[in-house]
């Protein structure tokens, strides 16, 4: 019954399941473990990954730095990156610039509706220090696609707790000018 209920509604919480079956949350958790059903967070991630795998064209999803949580090709995209130990300077625990750049740059690649997307130029600014444990939300917006060359201009703003920490203007190459599939 647990398997069926979760299959029907993968986004149901353990709390709701406990209420539904009239048992404790602990029971649900143990049963999930026994049946190897991942927790809600993992299930959401799995569904999200599966969905965007079919959508992103310019690179395999595992090559995106950060986790894509929304994408509309040639228009906009959002990703999140949790800053961990391996992203910060040992001395001051400040996130290293190239990780914020990597998140933004790979989002700029991912948003392009083409098999080939490469960065030509970028103009970037680090507006605030990002620390270990911070969650960085990067928002990419396609501002212009040159009709002739296909050159694509993308603005990426990254936030921690709604405060701007990074902004970048990217100019990207692509192999063809637009959504030709």
Q: By CB under 8 A, name the binding residues for its own copies.
A: 59-60, 63, 65, 89-92, 94, 96-98, 101-102, 105-106, 115-116, 118-126, 129
Three-state DSSP at 165 gives strand
CB of 96 to its own copies, least distance (A): 8
**Distance in Å, CB of 163 to its own copies, minimum:** 16
Q: What are φ and ψ of residue 180, in 5° steps?
A: -50, 130
Is the distance from CB of 167 to CB of 127 less than 8 angstroms? yes
HSE of 84 in the Cβ direction (CA atoms, 13 Å)?
5
Q: Which is nearer to its own copies, 8 or 86 (CB)?
A: 86
Nearer to its own copies (CB atom), residue 118 or residue 164: 118
CB of 131 to its own copies, least distance (A): 12
**Closest listed residue to residue 9, CA positions, set 37, 36, 51:** 37
Give the shortest CB-132-to-its own copies separation in angstroms.
Answer: 14
The 10 Å CB-count burial string (b at 16+, else e) for 47-79 is: eeeeebeeebbbeebeebbbbbeebebbebbbb
Nearer CB in complex with its own copies: 16/132: 132
* Closer residue to its own copies (CB): 45 or 96: 96
Would you say 46 or 121 has its CB closer to its own copies?
A: 121
Smallest distance from the beta carbon of 56 to its own copies, in angstroms? 12
Cβ 106 vs Cβ 59: under 8 Å: yes
DSSP annotation of 130 reads: -
């Amino acid at each position: 019954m647990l398997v069926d209920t979760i299959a029907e509604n993968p986004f149901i919480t353990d709390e709701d399941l406990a209420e539904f079956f009239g048992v404790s949350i602990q029971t649900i958790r143990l049963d999930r473990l026994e049946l190897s059903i991942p927790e809600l967070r993992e299930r959401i991630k799995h569904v999200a990954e599966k969905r965007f795998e079919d959508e992103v064209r310019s690179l395999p999803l595992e090559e995106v730095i950060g986790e894509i949580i929304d994408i509309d090709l040639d228009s906009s995209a959002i990703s999140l990156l949790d800053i961990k130990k391996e992203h910060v300077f040992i001395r001051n625990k400040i996130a290293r610039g190239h990780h914020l750049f990597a998140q933004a740059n790979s989002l700029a690649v991912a948003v392009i509706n083409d098999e080939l997307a490469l960065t030509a130029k970028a103009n970037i600014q680090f507006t605030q220090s990002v620390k270990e444990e911070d969650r960085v939300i990067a928002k990419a917006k396609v501002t212009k696609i040159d009709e002739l060359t296909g050159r694509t201009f993308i603005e990426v703003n990254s936030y921690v707790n709604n405060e701007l920490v990074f902004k970048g203007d990217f100019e990207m190459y692509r192999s063809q000018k637009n959504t030709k599939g």
